[in-house]
Amino acid sequence: MTEHQLMEQECQIARYRRLEREVTDPLAACLLHGIVEELEAELRKERPDWHGPRD
């Protein structure tokens, strides 16, 4: 992945995390959590020094 793609993925993770916090349906929250975990795992493969969002 290019640096730009990695930054885009970090933004996508942040968007999904925000949705996960805002959603009221437990199933939707669970699905969003799974998506976030998968995206973070993929990002850690590409950038092992990545430790999470910069909130």
Q: List helix spans (H) across 1-55.
A: 3-22, 26-46
Task: State the pTM of this model.
Answer: 0.78
Domain map of the chain by residue range? 3-46
- Residue 36: what pLDDT? 95
pLDDT in tens, 12-51: 999 999 999 999 999 999 999 999 999 999 988 888 776 6
User: CA 45, CA 36: separation in Å to the nearest integer?
Assistant: 14
